[in-house]
Structure 1
Protein backbone atom coordinates (compact mmCIF):
# COMPACT_ATOMS: atom_id res chain seq x y z
CA UNK A 1 0.00 0.00 0.00
CA UNK A 2 2.83 2.37 0.90
CA UNK A 3 4.29 1.93 -2.58
CA UNK A 4 1.18 3.44 -4.16
CA UNK A 5 0.70 6.23 -1.63
CA UNK A 6 1.74 9.03 -4.05
CA UNK A 7 -0.84 7.80 -6.57
CA UNK A 8 -3.51 7.61 -3.89
CA UNK A 9 -2.67 11.14 -2.71
CA UNK A 10 -2.95 12.39 -6.29
CA UNK A 11 -6.26 10.58 -6.82
CA UNK A 12 -7.98 11.79 -3.65
CA UNK A 13 -7.02 15.47 -3.79
CA UNK A 14 -9.48 17.74 -5.65
CA UNK A 15 -8.96 17.59 -9.40
CA UNK A 16 -9.54 21.34 -9.65
CA UNK A 17 -6.23 21.75 -7.84
CA UNK A 18 -4.36 19.19 -9.88
CA UNK A 19 -1.08 21.09 -9.81
CA UNK A 20 -1.07 20.94 -6.00
CA UNK A 21 -2.15 17.31 -6.07
CA UNK A 22 0.78 16.50 -8.40
CA UNK A 23 3.17 18.42 -6.15
CA UNK A 24 1.84 16.66 -3.03
CA UNK A 25 2.25 13.29 -4.77
CA UNK A 26 5.83 14.23 -5.75
CA UNK A 27 6.65 15.19 -2.15
CA UNK A 28 5.19 11.90 -0.89
CA UNK A 29 7.12 9.90 -3.53
CA UNK A 30 10.43 11.60 -2.69
CA UNK A 31 9.71 11.20 1.02
CA UNK A 32 9.05 7.48 0.56
CA UNK A 33 12.26 6.99 -1.38
CA UNK A 34 14.27 8.86 1.29
CA UNK A 35 12.58 7.02 4.15
CA UNK A 36 13.01 3.61 2.53
CA UNK A 37 16.64 4.22 1.54
CA UNK A 38 17.38 5.34 5.11
CA UNK A 39 15.75 2.12 6.34
CA UNK A 40 18.12 0.14 4.09
CA UNK A 41 15.87 -0.66 1.13
CA UNK A 42 17.69 -1.22 -2.13
CA UNK A 43 16.76 0.50 -5.34
CA UNK A 44 15.23 -2.79 -6.56
CA UNK A 45 12.59 -2.39 -3.84
CA UNK A 46 11.86 1.20 -4.93
CA UNK A 47 11.08 0.80 -8.64
CA UNK A 48 7.54 2.15 -8.36
CA UNK A 49 8.55 4.91 -5.92
CA UNK A 50 11.34 6.16 -8.20
CA UNK A 51 9.06 6.03 -11.24
CA UNK A 52 6.38 7.82 -9.24
CA UNK A 53 8.77 10.62 -8.32
CA UNK A 54 9.78 11.08 -11.96
CA UNK A 55 6.18 11.03 -13.19
CA UNK A 56 4.89 13.48 -10.62
CA UNK A 57 7.85 15.82 -11.15
CA UNK A 58 6.92 16.02 -14.83
CA UNK A 59 3.20 16.28 -14.16
CA UNK A 60 3.67 19.02 -11.55
CA UNK A 61 5.86 20.97 -13.96
CA UNK A 62 3.18 20.76 -16.68
CA UNK A 63 0.36 21.56 -14.23
CA UNK A 64 2.06 24.64 -12.80
CA UNK A 65 3.20 25.87 -16.22
CA UNK A 66 -0.33 25.58 -17.62
CA UNK A 67 -3.09 24.76 -15.11
CA UNK A 68 -5.58 24.65 -18.01
CA UNK A 69 -3.53 22.12 -19.98
CA UNK A 70 -5.42 19.34 -21.72
CA UNK A 71 -3.11 16.96 -19.88
CA UNK A 72 -5.32 17.51 -16.83
CA UNK A 73 -8.24 15.58 -18.28
CA UNK A 74 -5.97 12.67 -19.13
CA UNK A 75 -3.85 12.75 -15.96
CA UNK A 76 -5.55 9.71 -14.41
CA UNK A 77 -5.12 7.71 -17.62
CA UNK A 78 -1.50 8.86 -17.88
CA UNK A 79 -0.93 7.85 -14.25
CA UNK A 80 -2.14 4.32 -14.87
CA UNK A 81 -0.26 4.13 -18.18
CA UNK A 82 2.92 5.19 -16.41
CA UNK A 83 2.45 2.50 -13.77
CA UNK A 84 1.84 -0.05 -16.54
CA UNK A 85 5.04 1.08 -18.26
CA UNK A 86 7.09 0.90 -15.05
CA UNK A 87 5.71 -2.52 -14.14
CA UNK A 88 6.07 -3.81 -17.70
CA UNK A 89 9.66 -2.64 -18.02
CA UNK A 90 10.47 -4.22 -14.65
CA UNK A 91 9.25 -7.54 -16.11
CA UNK A 92 11.17 -7.07 -19.37
CA UNK A 93 14.46 -6.47 -17.56
CA UNK A 94 13.87 -9.46 -15.27
CA UNK A 95 13.35 -7.39 -12.12
CA UNK A 96 9.61 -7.58 -11.39
CA UNK A 97 8.76 -4.60 -9.20
CA UNK A 98 7.06 -6.85 -6.64
CA UNK A 99 10.26 -8.84 -6.09
CA UNK A 100 12.00 -6.06 -4.17
CA UNK A 101 8.86 -5.47 -2.13
CA UNK A 102 8.43 -9.17 -1.37
CA UNK A 103 12.04 -9.45 -0.19
CA UNK A 104 11.22 -7.07 2.66
CA UNK A 105 9.05 -9.71 4.34
CA UNK A 106 10.62 -12.93 3.08
CA UNK A 107 13.65 -14.79 4.44
CA UNK A 108 16.80 -14.29 2.36
CA UNK A 109 17.13 -18.04 1.69
CA UNK A 110 13.89 -17.94 -0.34
CA UNK A 111 14.87 -15.04 -2.63
CA UNK A 112 16.63 -17.13 -5.27
CA UNK A 113 14.09 -19.97 -5.37
CA UNK A 114 12.21 -20.41 -8.64
CA UNK A 115 8.73 -20.49 -7.00
CA UNK A 116 9.41 -17.17 -5.23
CA UNK A 117 10.61 -15.53 -8.43
CA UNK A 118 7.77 -17.05 -10.49
CA UNK A 119 5.19 -15.84 -7.96
CA UNK A 120 6.52 -12.30 -8.30
CA UNK A 121 6.57 -12.49 -12.10
CA UNK A 122 2.90 -13.55 -12.09
CA UNK A 123 1.91 -10.86 -9.58
CA UNK A 124 3.78 -8.14 -11.47
CA UNK A 125 2.20 -9.30 -14.75
CA UNK A 126 -1.26 -9.02 -13.20
CA UNK A 127 -0.50 -5.51 -11.89
CA UNK A 128 0.87 -4.54 -15.32
CA UNK A 129 -2.27 -5.76 -17.06
CA UNK A 130 -4.52 -4.06 -14.49
CA UNK A 131 -2.68 -0.76 -14.94
CA UNK A 132 -2.91 -1.02 -18.74
CA UNK A 133 -6.63 -1.84 -18.72
CA UNK A 134 -7.26 0.95 -16.21
CA UNK A 135 -5.32 3.43 -18.38
CA UNK A 136 -7.31 2.47 -21.47
CA UNK A 137 -10.65 2.71 -19.64
CA UNK A 138 -9.73 6.08 -18.13
CA UNK A 139 -8.63 7.39 -21.53
CA UNK A 140 -11.99 6.40 -23.01
CA UNK A 141 -13.82 8.05 -20.10
CA UNK A 142 -11.69 11.21 -20.44
CA UNK A 143 -12.23 11.32 -24.20
CA UNK A 144 -15.98 11.22 -23.54
CA UNK A 145 -15.60 14.32 -21.38
CA UNK A 146 -16.04 12.56 -18.03
CA UNK A 147 -12.46 12.54 -16.76
CA UNK A 148 -13.34 13.66 -13.24
CA UNK A 149 -16.52 11.66 -12.75
CA UNK A 150 -17.84 8.87 -10.56
CA UNK A 151 -17.22 6.24 -13.26
CA UNK A 152 -13.60 7.41 -13.51
CA UNK A 153 -13.21 7.09 -9.75
CA UNK A 154 -14.73 3.61 -9.78
CA UNK A 155 -12.33 2.53 -12.54
CA UNK A 156 -9.35 3.92 -10.59
CA UNK A 157 -10.37 2.18 -7.37
CA UNK A 158 -10.98 -1.10 -9.20
CA UNK A 159 -7.62 -0.73 -10.95
CA UNK A 160 -5.91 -0.94 -7.57
CA UNK A 161 -8.33 -3.07 -5.56
CA UNK A 162 -8.58 -6.00 -7.97
CA UNK A 163 -4.85 -6.63 -8.41
CA UNK A 164 -4.34 -6.06 -4.68
CA UNK A 165 -6.95 -8.72 -3.91
CA UNK A 166 -5.32 -11.03 -6.46
CA UNK A 167 -1.91 -10.44 -4.86
CA UNK A 168 -3.10 -11.30 -1.37
CA UNK A 169 -4.85 -14.47 -2.54
CA UNK A 170 -2.09 -15.58 -4.89
CA UNK A 171 0.62 -15.14 -2.26
CA UNK A 172 -1.47 -17.08 0.27
CA UNK A 173 -1.97 -19.90 -2.27
CA UNK A 174 1.73 -19.94 -3.16
CA UNK A 175 2.72 -20.06 0.50
CA UNK A 176 0.25 -22.85 1.19
CA UNK A 177 1.57 -24.81 -1.77
CA UNK A 178 5.12 -24.38 -0.49
CA UNK A 179 4.05 -25.36 3.02
CA UNK A 180 4.97 -21.96 4.47
CA UNK A 181 1.68 -21.29 6.23
Structure 2
Protein backbone atom coordinates (compact mmCIF):
# COMPACT_ATOMS: atom_id res chain seq x y z
CA UNK A 1 0.00 0.00 0.00
CA UNK A 2 2.96 2.34 0.62
CA UNK A 3 3.65 2.27 -3.11
CA UNK A 4 0.34 4.02 -3.72
CA UNK A 5 1.38 6.92 -1.47
CA UNK A 6 3.67 7.98 -4.30
CA UNK A 7 0.57 8.86 -6.30
CA UNK A 8 -0.67 11.28 -3.61
CA UNK A 9 0.64 14.45 -5.37
CA UNK A 10 -1.16 13.43 -8.55
CA UNK A 11 -4.40 12.59 -6.75
CA UNK A 12 -4.41 15.80 -4.72
CA UNK A 13 -3.67 17.82 -7.85
CA UNK A 14 -6.62 16.16 -9.59
CA UNK A 15 -9.00 17.33 -6.87
CA UNK A 16 -7.55 20.80 -6.25
CA UNK A 17 -7.12 21.68 -9.94
CA UNK A 18 -10.46 20.34 -11.14
CA UNK A 19 -12.15 23.69 -10.61
CA UNK A 20 -9.90 25.36 -13.24
CA UNK A 21 -7.51 26.50 -10.53
CA UNK A 22 -4.44 24.66 -11.65
CA UNK A 23 -2.01 27.07 -9.99
CA UNK A 24 -2.99 25.88 -6.51
CA UNK A 25 -3.15 22.30 -7.70
CA UNK A 26 0.37 22.53 -9.15
CA UNK A 27 1.78 24.17 -6.01
CA UNK A 28 0.08 21.60 -3.76
CA UNK A 29 1.29 18.72 -5.93
CA UNK A 30 4.83 20.12 -5.90
CA UNK A 31 4.91 20.53 -2.12
CA UNK A 32 3.59 17.01 -1.52
CA UNK A 33 6.00 15.49 -4.08
CA UNK A 34 9.04 17.28 -2.63
CA UNK A 35 8.08 16.25 0.91
CA UNK A 36 7.61 12.62 -0.17
CA UNK A 37 10.94 12.55 -2.04
CA UNK A 38 12.70 14.14 0.94
CA UNK A 39 11.17 11.73 3.45
CA UNK A 40 11.86 8.72 1.26
CA UNK A 41 15.48 9.67 0.57
CA UNK A 42 16.03 10.42 4.27
CA UNK A 43 14.61 6.96 5.04
CA UNK A 44 17.26 5.45 2.76
CA UNK A 45 15.08 4.61 -0.23
CA UNK A 46 16.80 4.34 -3.58
CA UNK A 47 15.73 6.38 -6.59
CA UNK A 48 14.33 3.21 -8.17
CA UNK A 49 11.84 2.96 -5.29
CA UNK A 50 10.53 6.51 -5.76
CA UNK A 51 10.26 6.92 -9.52
CA UNK A 52 6.67 8.19 -9.35
CA UNK A 53 7.45 10.63 -6.53
CA UNK A 54 10.54 11.98 -8.35
CA UNK A 55 8.57 12.23 -11.59
CA UNK A 56 5.88 14.17 -9.71
CA UNK A 57 8.46 16.60 -8.32
CA UNK A 58 9.79 17.34 -11.81
CA UNK A 59 6.33 17.62 -13.38
CA UNK A 60 4.86 19.83 -10.68
CA UNK A 61 7.94 22.08 -10.58
CA UNK A 62 7.53 22.69 -14.32
CA UNK A 63 3.76 23.03 -14.09
CA UNK A 64 3.98 25.43 -11.13
CA UNK A 65 6.32 27.75 -13.03
CA UNK A 66 4.17 27.56 -16.15
CA UNK A 67 0.89 28.05 -14.25
CA UNK A 68 2.27 31.10 -12.41
CA UNK A 69 3.76 32.66 -15.54
CA UNK A 70 0.75 31.93 -17.77
CA UNK A 71 -2.16 31.53 -15.31
CA UNK A 72 -4.85 31.85 -17.97
CA UNK A 73 -3.23 29.57 -20.51
CA UNK A 74 -5.51 27.79 -22.95
CA UNK A 75 -3.91 24.60 -21.59
CA UNK A 76 -5.62 25.06 -18.20
CA UNK A 77 -8.60 22.79 -19.00
CA UNK A 78 -6.16 20.13 -20.19
CA UNK A 79 -4.28 19.90 -16.88
CA UNK A 80 -5.75 16.48 -16.03
CA UNK A 81 -4.83 15.17 -19.49
CA UNK A 82 -1.29 16.55 -19.13
CA UNK A 83 -0.91 14.78 -15.77
CA UNK A 84 -1.88 11.44 -17.29
CA UNK A 85 0.27 12.08 -20.35
CA UNK A 86 3.28 12.71 -18.08
CA UNK A 87 2.54 9.60 -16.00
CA UNK A 88 2.13 7.55 -19.19
CA UNK A 89 5.48 8.88 -20.41
CA UNK A 90 7.08 7.98 -17.09
CA UNK A 91 5.68 4.43 -17.20
CA UNK A 92 6.36 3.81 -20.89
CA UNK A 93 9.83 5.33 -20.54
CA UNK A 94 10.67 3.01 -17.67
CA UNK A 95 9.67 0.08 -19.88
CA UNK A 96 11.77 1.35 -22.80
CA UNK A 97 14.88 1.46 -20.60
CA UNK A 98 13.93 -2.00 -19.26
CA UNK A 99 13.49 -0.80 -15.68
CA UNK A 100 9.73 -0.89 -15.03
CA UNK A 101 8.90 1.73 -12.42
CA UNK A 102 7.20 -0.91 -10.26
CA UNK A 103 10.45 -2.89 -9.78
CA UNK A 104 11.78 -0.71 -6.97
CA UNK A 105 8.46 -0.79 -5.15
CA UNK A 106 8.11 -4.56 -5.63
CA UNK A 107 11.60 -5.15 -4.23
CA UNK A 108 10.47 -3.68 -0.93
CA UNK A 109 7.78 -6.37 -0.72
CA UNK A 110 9.49 -9.41 -2.24
CA UNK A 111 12.25 -11.71 -0.98
CA UNK A 112 15.70 -10.63 -2.15
CA UNK A 113 16.39 -14.02 -3.77
CA UNK A 114 13.83 -13.41 -6.57
CA UNK A 115 14.79 -9.81 -7.40
CA UNK A 116 17.02 -10.76 -10.31
CA UNK A 117 14.80 -13.52 -11.69
CA UNK A 118 13.33 -13.10 -15.17
CA UNK A 119 9.93 -13.98 -13.67
CA UNK A 120 10.09 -11.07 -11.20
CA UNK A 121 11.10 -8.66 -13.95
CA UNK A 122 8.34 -9.96 -16.26
CA UNK A 123 5.65 -9.60 -13.59
CA UNK A 124 6.71 -6.00 -13.02
CA UNK A 125 6.87 -5.29 -16.74
CA UNK A 126 3.27 -6.51 -17.08
CA UNK A 127 2.12 -4.42 -14.10
CA UNK A 128 3.93 -1.33 -15.40
CA UNK A 129 2.38 -1.88 -18.83
CA UNK A 130 -1.09 -1.91 -17.29
CA UNK A 131 -0.31 1.35 -15.46
CA UNK A 132 1.08 2.87 -18.69
CA UNK A 133 -1.96 1.80 -20.70
CA UNK A 134 -4.37 3.16 -18.08
CA UNK A 135 -2.57 6.51 -18.02
CA UNK A 136 -2.52 6.66 -21.82
CA UNK A 137 -6.23 5.89 -22.16
CA UNK A 138 -7.07 8.42 -19.43
CA UNK A 139 -4.91 11.09 -21.10
CA UNK A 140 -6.73 10.57 -24.40
CA UNK A 141 -10.16 10.64 -22.73
CA UNK A 142 -9.30 13.71 -20.68
CA UNK A 143 -8.01 15.52 -23.77
CA UNK A 144 -11.51 15.33 -25.27
CA UNK A 145 -13.57 16.16 -22.17
CA UNK A 146 -12.94 19.96 -22.21
CA UNK A 147 -14.32 20.23 -25.75
CA UNK A 148 -17.15 17.71 -25.39
CA UNK A 149 -18.30 18.56 -21.86
CA UNK A 150 -16.40 21.56 -20.45
CA UNK A 151 -18.23 21.51 -17.10
CA UNK A 152 -18.14 17.75 -16.54
CA UNK A 153 -16.12 17.84 -13.32
CA UNK A 154 -17.60 14.54 -12.15
CA UNK A 155 -16.53 12.87 -15.40
CA UNK A 156 -12.96 14.15 -15.04
CA UNK A 157 -12.82 12.88 -11.45
CA UNK A 158 -14.26 9.51 -12.49
CA UNK A 159 -11.71 9.07 -15.29
CA UNK A 160 -8.87 10.09 -12.96
CA UNK A 161 -10.08 7.74 -10.22
CA UNK A 162 -10.38 4.82 -12.63
CA UNK A 163 -6.93 5.49 -14.09
CA UNK A 164 -5.50 4.91 -10.60
CA UNK A 165 -7.91 2.38 -9.10
CA UNK A 166 -7.98 -0.18 -11.91
CA UNK A 167 -4.19 -0.54 -12.26
CA UNK A 168 -3.80 -0.56 -8.46
CA UNK A 169 -6.27 -3.44 -8.21
CA UNK A 170 -4.45 -5.24 -11.02
CA UNK A 171 -1.09 -4.66 -9.30
CA UNK A 172 -2.46 -6.26 -6.13
CA UNK A 173 -4.03 -9.22 -7.97
CA UNK A 174 -1.55 -10.08 -10.73
CA UNK A 175 1.55 -11.11 -8.74
CA UNK A 176 -0.53 -13.68 -6.83
CA UNK A 177 -1.90 -15.08 -10.08
CA UNK A 178 1.55 -15.15 -11.67
CA UNK A 179 3.00 -16.90 -8.61
CA UNK A 180 0.28 -19.58 -8.75
CA UNK A 181 0.95 -20.11 -12.47
CA UNK A 182 4.69 -20.40 -11.79
CA UNK A 183 4.16 -23.04 -9.10
CA UNK A 184 1.95 -25.24 -11.34
- TM normalised by structure 1 equals 0.93
Q: In the alignment, which of 6, 14, 18 is matched to residue 3 of structure 1?
A: 6
In the other structure, the counterpart of 2:138 is 134
Flag structure 2 segments of 5+ consecutive residues without an equivalent.
none
Q: Structure 1 CA distance, aligned partners of 2:115 and 2:61?
A: 33
Flag structure 1 segments of 5+ consecutive residues without an equivalent.
none
Q: Over aligned residues, Cα RMSD in angstroms?
A: 1.5
Q: Are residues 128 and 147 of structure 1, via their aligned partners in 2, closer, same or farther at CA, if it must alter by over 3 Å?
A: farther
1:72 aligns with 2:76: yes
Contact 2:20–2:76 under 8 Å retained in 1: no
1:144 shift after superposition: 2.4
In the other structure, the counterpart of 2:106 is 102
- TM normalised by structure 2 equals 0.91
Contact 1:90–1:96 under 8 Å retained in 2: yes
Q: How does 1:27-176 map to 2 (within 5 A)?
A: 27-146=31-150, 149-176=153-180
Post-superposition Cα deviations, 1:129-161, rounded to whole Å, max 9, x if no partner, equal: 110000000001123252652111111111111
The aligned length equals 179
Q: Structure 2 CA distance, aligned partners of 1:27 and 1:91?
A: 28
SS in 2 for 1:13: helix
Post-superposition Cα deviations, 1:101-138, rounded to whole Å, max 9, x if no partner, equal: 11111121110011111000000011001100000000
Post-superposition Cα deviations, 1:66-92, rounded to whole Å, max 9, x if no partner, equal: 221112100000000000000000000
Post-superposition Cα deviations, 1:34-54, rounded to whole Å, max 9, x if no partner, equal: 111111111111211111111
